């Protein structure tokens, strides 16, 4: 165990272009409507749109804001007990929105070669599968000894 504590507050990622919760659904729609994203991203966001549209019929049963990502996830968590299909789709859509929004340029070395990773889908270096957001969280949660030994 380590004595380090990392506290990330609301808006921690905002300066990198990642939307705040109140703007998240709008940003997802913006990427979907513009359609200047890769086909895989478009499919992921289309699946999100389908789920959100399905949830609109639940307004008669529960009061929720269908423009609020937290409300959508809350409703889904009740509906998905024992079946995580829609939650997995939502997780992918959230991750993809973060990846598309993030404007951080990251340099990394692999096998002695310096690469530049840009999250803009038109300029993503194809040498690795992971995007910077995944790399960031993996590095945050690695054991300190793994980080210090490299």
The band of 147, judged by pLDDT with boundaries at 50, 70 and 90, is very low
pLDDT at 27: 92
pTM score of the predicted model? 0.65
Measured in whole angstroms, the distance separating CA 128 from the mean position of its chain's CA atoms is 18
HSE toward the beta carbon, residue 97, CA cutoff 13 A? 29
Question: Could you state, in order of their start, the residue ranges of all structural domains in the chain?
Answer: 19-101, 105-148
Measured CA angle at 104 (ends 114, 126), to 5 deg: 50
**Of the segments 6-10, 22-26, 131-135, 140-144, which one has the largest average pLDDT value?**
22-26
Lowest average pLDDT, out of 42-46, 97-101, 125-129, 132-136, goes to 125-129
Whole-number Å distance between alpha carbons of 58 and 61: 5
Q: Compute how many other C-beta atoms are within 10 angstroms of the C-beta atom of residue 51.
A: 19
Per-residue pLDDT tens over the stretch 83-120: 678 888 888 898 888 888 887 766 666 676 666 665 54
Q: Helix/strand/coil (H, E, C) string of 4-70?
A: CCCCCCCCCCHHHCCCCHHHHHHHHHHHHHHCCCCHHHHHHHHHHHHHHHHHHHHHHCCCCCCCCHH
More confident site: 116 or 68: 68
Lowest average pLDDT, out of 48-52, 76-80, 91-95, 140-144, goes to 140-144
Q: Compute how many other C-beta atoms are within 10 angstroms of the C-beta atom of residue 104.
A: 15
SS3 (DSSP) at 131: coil
Q: Compute how many other C-beta atoms are within 10 angstroms of the C-beta atom of residue 14.
A: 12
What integer is the mean pLDDT of 12-31? 87
Is the pLDDT reported for residue 125 higher than 50?
Answer: no
């Amino acid at each position: 165990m380590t004595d380090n504590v990392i506290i990330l507050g609301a808006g921690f990622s905002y300066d990198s272009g990642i939307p705040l919760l109140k703007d998240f659904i709008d940003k997802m729609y913006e990427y979907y409507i513009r359609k200047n994203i890769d086909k895989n991203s478009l499919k992921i966001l289309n699946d999100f749109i389908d789920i959100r549209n399905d949830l609109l019929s639940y307004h008669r049963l529960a009061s929720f804001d269908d423009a609020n990502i937290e409300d959508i996830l809350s409703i889904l968590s009740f509906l998905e007990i024992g079946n995580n299909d829609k939650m997995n789709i939502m997780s992918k859509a959230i991750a993809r929105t973060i990846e598309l929004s993030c404007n951080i340029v990251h340099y990394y070395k692999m096998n002695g070669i310096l690469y530049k990773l840009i999250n803009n889908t038109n300029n993503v270096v194809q040498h690795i599968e992971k995007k910077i957001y995944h790399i960031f969280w993996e590095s945050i949660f690695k054991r300190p000894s793994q980080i210090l030994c490299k």
